[in-house]
Structure 1
Amino acid sequence: MNFDTTIIKRGRNDFSREIILPKKMDIKLSEFLGIHYGDGCLRCDSKKSDYCFTYSGDSRFDTKYMARIDQLFKELFGIYLKHEIFANCYTLRGRSKTIFNFLSIFLQCPIGPKKDLRLPLSILSKNSHLAAFLRGLFDTDGCVTLQKDKGYNYILIKYSMKSYVFAQDIHEGLKKFNISSYICRGNVHQVVIRKNSSVKNFFKYIEPKNERKLKKYKTLKKNMG
Protein backbone atom coordinates (compact mmCIF):
# COMPACT_ATOMS: atom_id res chain seq x y z
CA MET A 1 0.00 0.00 0.00
CA ASN A 2 1.43 3.37 -1.08
CA PHE A 3 0.59 6.71 0.54
CA ASP A 4 -0.04 9.88 -1.44
CA THR A 5 1.48 12.20 1.16
CA THR A 6 0.98 15.26 -1.07
CA ILE A 7 -2.57 15.53 0.31
CA ILE A 8 -1.30 15.99 3.87
CA LYS A 9 -1.82 19.47 5.29
CA ARG A 10 1.51 20.48 6.77
CA GLY A 11 1.99 22.74 9.74
CA ARG A 12 3.84 25.95 8.99
CA ASN A 13 6.30 25.20 11.79
CA ASP A 14 7.12 21.83 10.20
CA PHE A 15 8.78 23.24 7.08
CA SER A 16 11.94 24.10 9.01
CA ARG A 17 12.12 20.62 10.58
CA GLU A 18 13.57 17.51 8.98
CA ILE A 19 10.25 15.69 8.97
CA ILE A 20 9.77 12.79 6.59
CA LEU A 21 6.66 10.73 5.90
CA PRO A 22 6.61 7.03 5.01
CA LYS A 23 5.67 6.35 1.40
CA LYS A 24 4.23 2.87 1.97
CA MET A 25 3.30 0.36 4.62
CA ASP A 26 6.27 -1.76 5.67
CA ILE A 27 7.39 -3.81 8.67
CA LYS A 28 8.66 -0.84 10.70
CA LEU A 29 5.52 1.20 10.15
CA SER A 30 3.35 -1.83 10.94
CA GLU A 31 5.14 -2.32 14.27
CA PHE A 32 4.83 1.37 15.05
CA LEU A 33 1.10 1.24 14.31
CA GLY A 34 0.75 -1.63 16.80
CA ILE A 35 2.61 0.47 19.36
CA HIS A 36 0.30 3.41 18.74
CA TYR A 37 -2.82 1.25 19.02
CA GLY A 38 -1.44 -0.05 22.30
CA ASP A 39 -0.10 2.96 24.20
CA GLY A 40 -0.33 5.85 21.77
CA CYS A 41 -2.69 8.80 21.73
CA LEU A 42 -3.55 11.68 19.39
CA ARG A 43 -4.80 14.96 20.86
CA CYS A 44 -5.69 18.10 18.97
CA ASP A 45 -6.47 21.70 19.87
CA SER A 46 -6.88 23.28 16.45
CA LYS A 47 -7.57 26.73 17.93
CA LYS A 48 -4.08 26.72 19.42
CA SER A 49 -2.60 24.80 16.47
CA ASP A 50 -1.52 22.12 18.93
CA TYR A 51 -1.30 18.68 17.30
CA CYS A 52 0.13 16.27 19.85
CA PHE A 53 0.93 12.55 19.95
CA THR A 54 2.13 10.66 23.02
CA TYR A 55 3.35 7.19 23.97
CA SER A 56 3.33 6.06 27.59
CA GLY A 57 5.21 3.51 29.68
CA ASP A 58 6.41 2.77 33.20
CA SER A 59 9.58 4.65 34.13
CA ARG A 60 10.60 1.84 36.49
CA PHE A 61 10.69 -0.88 33.87
CA ASP A 62 10.35 0.48 30.33
CA THR A 63 13.33 2.79 29.84
CA LYS A 64 14.94 0.61 27.16
CA TYR A 65 11.70 -0.02 25.36
CA MET A 66 10.77 3.67 25.33
CA ALA A 67 14.15 4.34 23.73
CA ARG A 68 13.26 1.73 21.09
CA ILE A 69 9.99 3.54 20.34
CA ASP A 70 11.81 6.85 20.02
CA GLN A 71 14.40 5.40 17.64
CA LEU A 72 11.70 3.76 15.54
CA PHE A 73 9.85 7.09 15.38
CA LYS A 74 13.04 8.84 14.25
CA GLU A 75 13.59 6.27 11.48
CA LEU A 76 10.02 6.66 10.25
CA PHE A 77 9.43 10.40 10.62
CA GLY A 78 12.87 12.00 10.85
CA ILE A 79 12.57 13.52 14.34
CA TYR A 80 12.98 12.37 17.92
CA LEU A 81 10.27 12.65 20.55
CA LYS A 82 10.53 14.56 23.84
CA HIS A 83 11.08 12.38 26.92
CA GLU A 84 9.07 13.28 30.03
CA ILE A 85 9.35 11.37 33.32
CA PHE A 86 7.07 12.08 36.27
CA ALA A 87 6.94 9.59 39.16
CA ASN A 88 6.37 6.18 37.53
CA CYS A 89 5.06 7.58 34.25
CA TYR A 90 7.35 7.74 31.22
CA THR A 91 5.91 9.71 28.31
CA LEU A 92 7.23 10.29 24.81
CA ARG A 93 5.65 13.41 23.34
CA GLY A 94 5.75 14.98 19.92
CA ARG A 95 4.03 17.89 18.19
CA SER A 96 3.60 18.17 14.45
CA LYS A 97 0.51 18.88 12.37
CA THR A 98 2.11 17.02 9.46
CA ILE A 99 2.75 13.79 11.36
CA PHE A 100 -0.55 14.11 13.24
CA ASN A 101 -2.46 14.25 9.94
CA PHE A 102 -0.49 11.33 8.52
CA LEU A 103 -1.32 9.17 11.55
CA SER A 104 -4.97 10.17 11.42
CA ILE A 105 -5.54 9.90 7.66
CA PHE A 106 -3.33 7.06 6.46
CA LEU A 107 -2.98 4.93 9.60
CA GLN A 108 -6.55 5.57 10.78
CA CYS A 109 -5.41 6.41 14.31
CA PRO A 110 -8.38 7.89 16.20
CA ILE A 111 -8.19 11.33 17.74
CA GLY A 112 -8.85 11.18 21.48
CA PRO A 113 -10.09 7.95 23.13
CA LYS A 114 -9.44 4.75 21.16
CA LYS A 115 -12.97 3.34 21.36
CA ASP A 116 -13.66 1.60 18.06
CA LEU A 117 -10.36 0.19 16.89
CA ARG A 118 -10.21 -2.30 14.03
CA LEU A 119 -7.28 -4.16 12.54
CA PRO A 120 -6.34 -1.96 9.55
CA LEU A 121 -6.75 -3.58 6.13
CA SER A 122 -3.27 -2.36 5.17
CA ILE A 123 -1.85 -4.61 7.89
CA LEU A 124 -3.60 -7.70 6.57
CA SER A 125 -1.98 -7.57 3.13
CA LYS A 126 1.18 -9.35 4.31
CA ASN A 127 1.79 -11.72 7.22
CA SER A 128 5.07 -9.92 7.95
CA HIS A 129 3.11 -6.68 8.45
CA LEU A 130 0.54 -8.42 10.63
CA ALA A 131 3.25 -10.02 12.79
CA ALA A 132 4.94 -6.64 13.24
CA PHE A 133 1.64 -5.00 14.23
CA LEU A 134 0.91 -7.77 16.75
CA ARG A 135 4.44 -7.36 18.11
CA GLY A 136 4.04 -3.63 18.69
CA LEU A 137 0.61 -4.11 20.24
CA PHE A 138 1.88 -6.82 22.59
CA ASP A 139 5.02 -4.92 23.57
CA THR A 140 2.88 -2.02 24.77
CA ASP A 141 -0.50 -3.46 25.79
CA GLY A 142 0.13 -7.18 26.28
CA CYS A 143 1.43 -9.25 29.17
CA VAL A 144 2.85 -12.64 30.11
CA THR A 145 1.52 -14.32 33.23
CA LEU A 146 1.29 -17.68 34.99
CA GLN A 147 -1.96 -19.55 35.56
CA LYS A 148 -2.30 -22.39 38.05
CA ASP A 149 -5.16 -24.74 37.26
CA LYS A 150 -5.83 -28.12 38.89
CA GLY A 151 -2.21 -28.71 39.77
CA TYR A 152 -0.87 -27.59 36.39
CA ASN A 153 0.94 -24.40 35.48
CA TYR A 154 0.27 -22.57 32.22
CA ILE A 155 2.08 -19.62 30.71
CA LEU A 156 -0.53 -17.21 29.36
CA ILE A 157 -0.07 -14.44 26.84
CA LYS A 158 -2.74 -11.75 26.97
CA TYR A 159 -3.82 -8.78 24.89
CA SER A 160 -6.21 -6.36 26.58
CA MET A 161 -8.56 -3.95 24.81
CA LYS A 162 -11.85 -2.12 25.31
CA SER A 163 -13.29 -3.04 21.92
CA TYR A 164 -14.73 -6.54 21.56
CA VAL A 165 -14.63 -6.24 17.77
CA PHE A 166 -10.92 -5.39 17.93
CA ALA A 167 -10.40 -8.41 20.20
CA GLN A 168 -12.05 -10.55 17.52
CA ASP A 169 -9.73 -9.05 14.90
CA ILE A 170 -6.66 -9.95 16.98
CA HIS A 171 -8.03 -13.44 17.66
CA GLU A 172 -8.46 -14.03 13.92
CA GLY A 173 -5.11 -12.46 13.07
CA LEU A 174 -3.25 -14.81 15.41
CA LYS A 175 -4.67 -17.79 13.54
CA LYS A 176 -2.51 -16.91 10.55
CA PHE A 177 0.51 -17.97 12.61
CA ASN A 178 -1.09 -21.15 13.95
CA ILE A 179 -1.67 -19.43 17.29
CA SER A 180 -4.92 -20.44 18.95
CA SER A 181 -6.55 -18.08 21.45
CA TYR A 182 -9.83 -17.33 23.17
CA ILE A 183 -11.55 -14.13 24.24
CA CYS A 184 -12.55 -13.29 27.81
CA ARG A 185 -15.25 -10.63 27.68
CA GLY A 186 -15.60 -7.89 30.29
CA ASN A 187 -15.23 -4.16 30.74
CA VAL A 188 -11.80 -4.81 29.27
CA HIS A 189 -11.71 -7.73 26.85
CA GLN A 190 -8.74 -10.08 26.80
CA VAL A 191 -7.39 -12.22 23.98
CA VAL A 192 -5.69 -15.11 25.78
CA ILE A 193 -3.13 -17.55 24.39
CA ARG A 194 -2.84 -20.61 26.62
CA LYS A 195 -1.98 -23.67 24.54
CA ASN A 196 1.73 -24.47 24.93
CA SER A 197 2.36 -24.87 21.20
CA SER A 198 0.62 -21.55 20.52
CA VAL A 199 2.72 -19.76 23.14
CA LYS A 200 5.84 -21.13 21.43
CA ASN A 201 4.55 -20.04 18.02
CA PHE A 202 3.83 -16.59 19.40
CA PHE A 203 7.44 -16.01 20.41
CA LYS A 204 8.69 -17.66 17.21
CA TYR A 205 6.61 -15.69 14.70
CA ILE A 206 5.59 -12.47 16.49
CA GLU A 207 9.05 -11.94 18.05
CA PRO A 208 8.33 -9.44 20.86
CA LYS A 209 11.03 -6.82 21.55
CA ASN A 210 10.04 -5.57 25.02
CA GLU A 211 12.88 -6.90 27.18
CA ARG A 212 10.84 -6.82 30.38
CA LYS A 213 8.20 -9.13 28.93
CA LEU A 214 10.78 -11.37 27.27
CA LYS A 215 12.62 -11.73 30.56
CA LYS A 216 9.43 -12.66 32.39
CA TYR A 217 8.59 -15.31 29.80
CA LYS A 218 12.07 -16.84 30.05
CA THR A 219 11.90 -16.82 33.86
CA LEU A 220 8.48 -18.51 33.94
CA LYS A 221 9.61 -21.05 31.37
CA LYS A 222 12.76 -21.83 33.35
CA ASN A 223 10.87 -22.20 36.64
CA MET A 224 8.45 -24.62 35.03
CA GLY A 225 11.37 -26.80 33.97
Structure 2
Amino acid sequence: MAERIYQKRVIFPENAQGEFLIQQINKLKISWPNLAEKIGIHERTLNDWRREEYSMPLDHLEKICKLSNSKLPNNITIKDPFSHLKDAGIRGGLASLKKYGRVGGDPEYQKKRWHEWWESNSKSIIKSHPIFQRHLIRKPTRSKLLAEFFGIMLGDGSISSASKNQLRITLNHQDDKEYISFVLATLEKLFRKKASIIKHKNSLASDICLSSTNAVEFLLRLGLKSGNKVKQQVDIPNWIKSNVEFQKACVRGLMDTDGCIFYECHNIKGKKYCYPRLTFVTASVPLRNSVFSILTDLKLDPKIENTRHVSIENKEKIAEYFKVIGSSNPKHLKRYKN
Protein backbone atom coordinates (compact mmCIF):
# COMPACT_ATOMS: atom_id res chain seq x y z
CA MET A 1 0.00 0.00 0.00
CA ALA A 2 2.85 2.38 0.81
CA GLU A 3 4.25 2.11 -2.72
CA ARG A 4 1.02 3.36 -4.31
CA ILE A 5 1.01 6.58 -2.29
CA TYR A 6 4.16 7.73 -4.02
CA GLN A 7 3.23 6.76 -7.63
CA LYS A 8 3.19 9.32 -10.40
CA ARG A 9 -0.28 10.74 -11.01
CA VAL A 10 -2.23 11.14 -14.26
CA ILE A 11 -4.10 14.40 -14.89
CA PHE A 12 -6.96 14.27 -17.46
CA PRO A 13 -8.75 17.29 -18.89
CA GLU A 14 -12.01 18.10 -17.08
CA ASN A 15 -14.62 15.28 -17.42
CA ALA A 16 -12.20 13.20 -19.53
CA GLN A 17 -11.16 10.80 -16.76
CA GLY A 18 -14.72 9.59 -16.14
CA GLU A 19 -15.42 9.28 -19.86
CA PHE A 20 -12.21 7.26 -20.32
CA LEU A 21 -13.18 4.77 -17.61
CA ILE A 22 -16.70 4.35 -19.03
CA GLN A 23 -15.20 3.66 -22.48
CA GLN A 24 -12.93 0.99 -20.98
CA ILE A 25 -15.82 -0.68 -19.16
CA ASN A 26 -17.83 -0.81 -22.40
CA LYS A 27 -14.85 -2.12 -24.35
CA LEU A 28 -14.01 -4.84 -21.81
CA LYS A 29 -17.72 -5.66 -21.27
CA ILE A 30 -17.21 -6.16 -17.52
CA SER A 31 -18.71 -4.62 -14.41
CA TRP A 32 -17.15 -1.93 -12.24
CA PRO A 33 -16.45 -4.39 -9.39
CA ASN A 34 -14.77 -6.78 -11.85
CA LEU A 35 -12.52 -4.03 -13.21
CA ALA A 36 -11.58 -2.95 -9.67
CA GLU A 37 -10.65 -6.53 -8.79
CA LYS A 38 -8.56 -7.01 -11.93
CA ILE A 39 -6.41 -3.92 -11.28
CA GLY A 40 -6.12 -4.59 -7.54
CA ILE A 41 -8.10 -1.73 -5.99
CA HIS A 42 -11.30 -1.29 -3.99
CA GLU A 43 -14.51 -0.67 -5.92
CA ARG A 44 -15.02 2.57 -3.99
CA THR A 45 -11.67 3.89 -5.24
CA LEU A 46 -12.65 3.17 -8.85
CA ASN A 47 -15.94 5.02 -8.33
CA ASP A 48 -14.01 8.00 -6.92
CA TRP A 49 -11.88 8.05 -10.07
CA ARG A 50 -14.99 7.85 -12.26
CA ARG A 51 -16.49 10.85 -10.40
CA GLU A 52 -13.08 12.55 -10.78
CA GLU A 53 -12.71 13.18 -7.08
CA TYR A 54 -9.08 12.06 -7.30
CA SER A 55 -6.50 11.70 -10.03
CA MET A 56 -5.41 8.21 -11.07
CA PRO A 57 -1.99 6.68 -10.40
CA LEU A 58 -0.04 6.06 -13.60
CA ASP A 59 0.52 2.37 -12.88
CA HIS A 60 -3.23 1.68 -12.61
CA LEU A 61 -3.94 3.53 -15.83
CA GLU A 62 -1.33 1.33 -17.51
CA LYS A 63 -3.02 -1.80 -16.09
CA ILE A 64 -6.42 -0.75 -17.51
CA CYS A 65 -4.91 0.01 -20.92
CA LYS A 66 -3.17 -3.37 -20.93
CA LEU A 67 -6.45 -5.16 -20.13
CA SER A 68 -8.27 -3.42 -22.98
CA ASN A 69 -5.29 -3.55 -25.34
CA SER A 70 -5.41 0.25 -25.61
CA LYS A 71 -2.74 2.94 -25.78
CA LEU A 72 -2.34 5.57 -23.11
CA PRO A 73 -4.58 8.55 -23.85
CA ASN A 74 -2.87 11.46 -25.64
CA ASN A 75 -4.63 14.15 -23.64
CA ILE A 76 -3.14 13.30 -20.21
CA THR A 77 -0.41 15.00 -18.15
CA ILE A 78 1.83 12.89 -15.92
CA LYS A 79 2.98 14.55 -12.70
CA ASP A 80 5.41 13.50 -9.99
CA PRO A 81 4.01 12.74 -6.51
CA PHE A 82 3.60 15.83 -4.29
CA SER A 83 4.10 18.17 -7.26
CA HIS A 84 1.08 20.12 -6.00
CA LEU A 85 2.77 20.96 -2.69
CA LYS A 86 5.02 23.64 -4.17
CA ASP A 87 2.05 25.60 -5.51
CA ALA A 88 0.16 25.08 -2.26
CA GLY A 89 3.16 26.34 -0.28
CA ILE A 90 3.46 29.44 -2.45
CA ARG A 91 -0.24 30.22 -2.07
CA GLY A 92 -0.06 29.69 1.70
CA GLY A 93 3.06 31.87 2.00
CA LEU A 94 1.47 34.69 0.01
CA ALA A 95 -1.67 34.50 2.14
CA SER A 96 0.43 34.64 5.35
CA LEU A 97 2.46 37.55 4.00
CA LYS A 98 -0.70 39.47 3.13
CA LYS A 99 -2.33 38.82 6.50
CA TYR A 100 0.66 39.13 8.90
CA GLY A 101 3.33 40.92 6.90
CA ARG A 102 5.69 37.91 7.27
CA VAL A 103 5.89 34.22 6.50
CA GLY A 104 5.94 31.82 9.45
CA GLY A 105 4.39 33.92 12.18
CA ASP A 106 5.94 36.31 14.70
CA PRO A 107 9.41 34.96 15.67
CA GLU A 108 9.58 37.04 18.86
CA TYR A 109 6.21 35.76 20.00
CA GLN A 110 7.24 32.18 19.21
CA LYS A 111 10.47 32.60 21.18
CA LYS A 112 8.58 34.08 24.13
CA ARG A 113 6.08 31.23 24.17
CA TRP A 114 8.86 28.63 23.93
CA HIS A 115 10.69 30.15 26.92
CA GLU A 116 7.46 30.19 28.91
CA TRP A 117 6.88 26.51 28.10
CA TRP A 118 10.48 25.58 28.97
CA GLU A 119 10.38 27.43 32.28
CA SER A 120 7.23 25.57 33.33
CA ASN A 121 8.23 22.11 32.01
CA SER A 122 12.04 21.83 32.02
CA LYS A 123 12.41 20.62 35.61
CA SER A 124 9.97 17.76 35.16
CA ILE A 125 11.56 16.81 31.80
CA ILE A 126 15.08 16.75 33.22
CA LYS A 127 13.92 14.83 36.27
CA SER A 128 12.01 12.17 34.36
CA HIS A 129 13.77 11.73 31.01
CA PRO A 130 16.39 8.93 30.94
CA ILE A 131 18.82 10.97 28.83
CA PHE A 132 19.30 13.38 31.73
CA GLN A 133 19.76 10.71 34.37
CA ARG A 134 23.14 9.63 35.69
CA HIS A 135 23.94 5.99 35.13
CA LEU A 136 24.68 4.06 38.27
CA ILE A 137 28.16 2.59 38.64
CA ARG A 138 29.85 0.25 41.04
CA LYS A 139 32.02 2.25 43.43
CA PRO A 140 35.04 0.02 43.99
CA THR A 141 36.76 -0.34 47.34
CA ARG A 142 40.40 0.63 47.70
CA SER A 143 42.38 -2.26 46.31
CA LYS A 144 45.51 -3.21 44.38
CA LEU A 145 43.52 -3.14 41.14
CA LEU A 146 42.21 0.36 41.85
CA ALA A 147 45.72 1.50 42.80
CA GLU A 148 47.05 0.12 39.51
CA PHE A 149 44.29 1.93 37.63
CA PHE A 150 45.33 5.16 39.37
CA GLY A 151 48.84 4.53 38.04
CA ILE A 152 47.42 4.11 34.54
CA MET A 153 45.48 7.37 34.86
CA LEU A 154 48.49 9.25 36.26
CA GLY A 155 50.48 7.92 33.31
CA ASP A 156 48.46 8.03 30.10
CA GLY A 157 45.06 9.04 31.47
CA SER A 158 43.24 12.37 31.62
CA ILE A 159 40.02 13.93 32.87
CA SER A 160 38.63 16.97 31.07
CA SER A 161 38.56 20.03 33.30
CA ALA A 162 35.64 21.46 31.30
CA SER A 163 33.03 18.71 31.43
CA LYS A 164 34.33 16.44 34.22
CA ASN A 165 32.12 13.63 32.97
CA GLN A 166 34.59 11.57 30.95
CA LEU A 167 37.95 9.96 31.52
CA ARG A 168 40.24 8.82 28.74
CA ILE A 169 43.41 6.79 28.45
CA THR A 170 45.50 7.21 25.31
CA LEU A 171 47.52 4.21 24.14
CA ASN A 172 49.18 2.95 20.95
CA HIS A 173 46.65 0.68 19.24
CA GLN A 174 49.42 -1.43 17.69
CA ASP A 175 52.11 -1.75 20.37
CA ASP A 176 49.59 -1.73 23.22
CA LYS A 177 46.89 -3.80 21.54
CA GLU A 178 46.88 -6.49 24.25
CA TYR A 179 47.26 -3.94 27.04
CA ILE A 180 44.19 -2.07 25.76
CA SER A 181 42.17 -5.24 26.40
CA PHE A 182 43.51 -5.33 29.97
CA VAL A 183 42.55 -1.69 30.58
CA LEU A 184 39.04 -2.23 29.18
CA ALA A 185 38.58 -5.27 31.42
CA THR A 186 39.90 -3.30 34.43
CA LEU A 187 37.40 -0.48 33.89
CA GLU A 188 34.50 -2.91 33.60
CA LYS A 189 35.63 -4.84 36.68
CA LEU A 190 36.04 -1.67 38.76
CA PHE A 191 32.92 0.26 37.70
CA ARG A 192 30.68 -2.38 36.05
CA LYS A 193 30.56 -0.14 33.00
CA LYS A 194 31.96 -0.70 29.51
CA ALA A 195 34.29 1.86 27.95
CA SER A 196 34.55 2.70 24.25
CA ILE A 197 37.59 2.94 21.97
CA ILE A 198 38.17 5.87 19.59
CA LYS A 199 41.03 5.56 17.12
CA HIS A 200 42.86 8.72 16.05
CA LYS A 201 42.67 9.27 12.29
CA ASN A 202 46.20 10.53 11.72
CA SER A 203 48.20 8.57 14.28
CA LEU A 204 48.57 5.17 15.92
CA ALA A 205 46.92 6.41 19.11
CA SER A 206 43.59 5.20 20.47
CA ASP A 207 41.53 6.69 23.28
CA ILE A 208 39.82 4.45 25.79
CA CYS A 209 36.85 6.56 26.94
CA LEU A 210 34.53 6.07 29.87
CA SER A 211 31.69 8.59 30.06
CA SER A 212 30.33 8.68 33.58
CA THR A 213 29.97 11.68 35.87
CA ASN A 214 29.67 9.35 38.87
CA ALA A 215 32.91 7.52 38.01
CA VAL A 216 34.81 10.78 37.44
CA GLU A 217 33.56 12.32 40.70
CA PHE A 218 34.55 9.14 42.54
CA LEU A 219 38.11 9.26 41.12
CA LEU A 220 38.46 12.98 41.86
CA ARG A 221 37.45 12.39 45.48
CA LEU A 222 40.16 9.73 45.78
CA GLY A 223 42.89 12.05 44.56
CA LEU A 224 43.01 12.26 40.75
CA LYS A 225 43.06 15.71 39.15
CA SER A 226 41.20 17.06 36.15
CA GLY A 227 42.96 19.15 33.53
CA ASN A 228 46.67 19.41 32.73
CA LYS A 229 48.67 16.98 34.89
CA VAL A 230 52.00 18.76 34.32
CA LYS A 231 50.69 22.20 35.28
CA GLN A 232 49.13 20.75 38.43
CA GLN A 233 52.24 18.66 39.22
CA VAL A 234 50.18 15.61 40.10
CA ASP A 235 51.27 13.02 42.63
CA ILE A 236 50.31 9.58 43.93
CA PRO A 237 47.42 9.94 46.45
CA ASN A 238 48.19 9.34 50.13
CA TRP A 239 45.85 6.34 50.43
CA ILE A 240 48.14 4.55 47.97
CA LYS A 241 51.35 5.76 49.58
CA SER A 242 50.25 4.40 52.96
CA ASN A 243 50.03 0.80 51.71
CA VAL A 244 53.06 -1.04 50.27
CA GLU A 245 50.98 -3.34 48.07
CA PHE A 246 49.05 -0.37 46.70
CA GLN A 247 52.38 1.39 46.02
CA LYS A 248 53.61 -1.56 43.94
CA ALA A 249 50.35 -1.73 41.99
CA CYS A 250 50.37 2.01 41.27
CA VAL A 251 53.99 1.97 40.08
CA ARG A 252 53.09 -0.97 37.85
CA GLY A 253 50.34 1.12 36.21
CA LEU A 254 52.71 4.07 35.84
CA MET A 255 55.54 2.02 34.33
CA ASP A 256 53.16 0.15 32.00
CA THR A 257 51.98 3.47 30.50
CA ASP A 258 54.74 6.08 30.87
CA GLY A 259 57.64 3.67 31.26
CA CYS A 260 59.74 1.61 28.87
CA ILE A 261 62.35 -1.12 28.83
CA PHE A 262 65.14 -0.93 26.29
CA TYR A 263 68.73 -2.03 25.74
CA GLU A 264 71.55 0.46 25.73
CA CYS A 265 74.33 -0.84 23.47
CA HIS A 266 78.03 0.16 23.16
CA ASN A 267 80.81 -1.00 20.88
CA ILE A 268 84.06 -1.53 22.80
CA LYS A 269 87.10 -2.67 20.84
CA GLY A 270 84.87 -4.05 18.12
CA LYS A 271 82.63 -5.94 20.50
CA LYS A 272 79.00 -4.98 21.12
CA TYR A 273 77.76 -4.82 24.71
CA CYS A 274 74.04 -4.30 25.51
CA TYR A 275 72.58 -3.47 28.92
CA PRO A 276 68.89 -3.42 29.89
CA ARG A 277 67.37 -0.17 31.12
CA LEU A 278 63.98 0.27 32.79
CA THR A 279 62.89 3.91 32.77
CA PHE A 280 59.85 5.87 33.91
CA VAL A 281 59.38 9.38 32.48
CA THR A 282 57.32 12.23 33.93
CA ALA A 283 57.36 16.01 33.92
CA SER A 284 55.70 16.13 37.35
CA VAL A 285 58.34 16.56 40.06
CA PRO A 286 56.18 15.23 42.94
CA LEU A 287 55.26 12.15 40.91
CA ARG A 288 58.88 11.55 39.92
CA ASN A 289 60.00 11.82 43.54
CA SER A 290 57.25 9.47 44.76
CA VAL A 291 58.17 6.78 42.21
CA PHE A 292 61.85 7.18 43.10
CA SER A 293 61.04 6.87 46.81
CA ILE A 294 58.90 3.73 46.34
CA LEU A 295 61.56 2.01 44.20
CA THR A 296 64.24 2.99 46.73
CA ASP A 297 62.24 1.53 49.62
CA LEU A 298 61.97 -1.69 47.61
CA LYS A 299 65.78 -1.67 47.30
CA LEU A 300 65.72 -1.53 43.50
CA ASP A 301 68.47 1.14 43.31
CA PRO A 302 66.71 3.69 41.07
CA LYS A 303 68.41 6.78 39.65
CA ILE A 304 67.03 10.17 38.65
CA GLU A 305 68.36 11.31 35.27
CA ASN A 306 67.71 14.51 33.28
CA THR A 307 65.24 15.62 36.01
CA ARG A 308 62.42 13.65 34.31
CA HIS A 309 63.66 10.06 34.26
CA VAL A 310 63.59 7.49 37.04
CA SER A 311 65.69 4.54 35.86
CA ILE A 312 66.80 1.12 37.02
CA GLU A 313 70.02 0.19 35.22
CA ASN A 314 71.22 -2.90 37.08
CA LYS A 315 70.26 -6.14 35.34
CA GLU A 316 69.63 -7.97 38.61
CA LYS A 317 67.53 -5.09 39.97
CA ILE A 318 65.43 -5.04 36.79
CA ALA A 319 64.81 -8.75 37.26
CA GLU A 320 63.85 -8.02 40.87
CA TYR A 321 61.44 -5.29 39.66
CA PHE A 322 59.57 -7.75 37.44
CA LYS A 323 59.50 -10.24 40.31
CA VAL A 324 58.30 -7.81 42.99
CA ILE A 325 56.16 -5.39 40.96
CA GLY A 326 55.64 -7.10 37.61
CA SER A 327 53.81 -5.77 34.54
CA SER A 328 50.33 -6.03 33.07
CA ASN A 329 51.54 -4.81 29.70
CA PRO A 330 52.61 -7.72 27.45
CA LYS A 331 54.75 -5.29 25.44
CA HIS A 332 57.08 -4.74 28.41
CA LEU A 333 57.15 -8.42 29.34
CA LYS A 334 58.14 -9.45 25.82
CA ARG A 335 60.92 -6.85 25.65
CA TYR A 336 62.22 -7.90 29.04
CA LYS A 337 62.27 -11.60 28.19
CA ASN A 338 63.89 -11.01 24.81
Which bin holds the TM-score, normalised by the shorter protein? Answer: 0.7 to 0.9
How far apart are residue 129 of structure 1 and its match? 0.9
How far apart are residue 59 of structure 1 and its match? 1.2
Corresponding residue number in structure 2 for 1:13: 133
CA shift digits 1:152-174 (9 cap, x unpaired): 42100000000123211111101
How far apart are residue 147 of structure 1 and its match? 1.3
CA shift digits 1:132-165 (9 cap, x unpaired): 1111111111000111357442100000000123
Query: Unmatched 5+ residue regions in structure 2?
Result: 1-130
SS in 2 for 1:155: strand
How far apart are residue 179 of structure 1 and its match? 0.6
Structure with more of its chain in helix, by fraction:
2
**Match status 1:72 vs 2:196:** no
Between the aligned partners of 2:303 and 2:151, the Cα distance in structure 1 is 20
**Match status 1:91 vs 2:221:** no
Structure number with bigger Rg: 2
1:164 touches 1:185 (CA, 8 Å); kept in 2?
no
How far apart are residue 195 of structure 1 and its match? 1.3
How far apart are residue 207 of structure 1 and its match? 0.8
Between the aligned partners of 1:30 and 1:45, the Cα distance in structure 2 is 25
Corresponding residue number in structure 2 for 1:33: 150
Between the aligned partners of 2:133 and 2:152, the Cα distance in structure 1 is 26
How far apart are residue 31 of structure 1 and its match? 0.6
SS in 2 for 1:209: coil
Q: Return closer, same or farther for 1:209/1:96 CA change in 2, 3 Å cut-off.
A: same
Between the aligned partners of 2:267 and 2:176, the Cα distance in structure 1 is 34
- Amino-acid identity (%): 23
SS in 2 for 1:45: coil
Aligned length: 200
Between the aligned partners of 1:95 and 1:45, the Cα distance in structure 2 is 14
Q: 1:103 aligns with which of 211, 219, 223?
A: 219
Q: 2:292 aligns with which of 150, 171, 177?
A: 171
Letter in 1 for 2:208: L
Letter in 2 for 1:112: G
Query: Unmatched 5+ residue regions in structure 1?
Result: 1-10, 220-225
How far apart are residue 89 of structure 1 and its match? 1.3
Superposed CA RMSD in Å reads 1.8
**Match status 1:162 vs 2:283:** yes
SS in 2 for 1:56: strand
SS in 1 for 2:160: strand
How far apart are residue 128 of structure 1 and its match? 1.2
SS in 2 for 1:130: helix
CA shift digits 1:26-75 (9 cap, x unpaired): 111011000000110000434xxx61110111111212111110110111
CA shift digits 1:67-115 (9 cap, x unpaired): 1101101111110101112341111111111111111111x11111112
Letter in 2 for 1:129: F
Between the aligned partners of 1:193 and 1:45, the Cα distance in structure 2 is 38
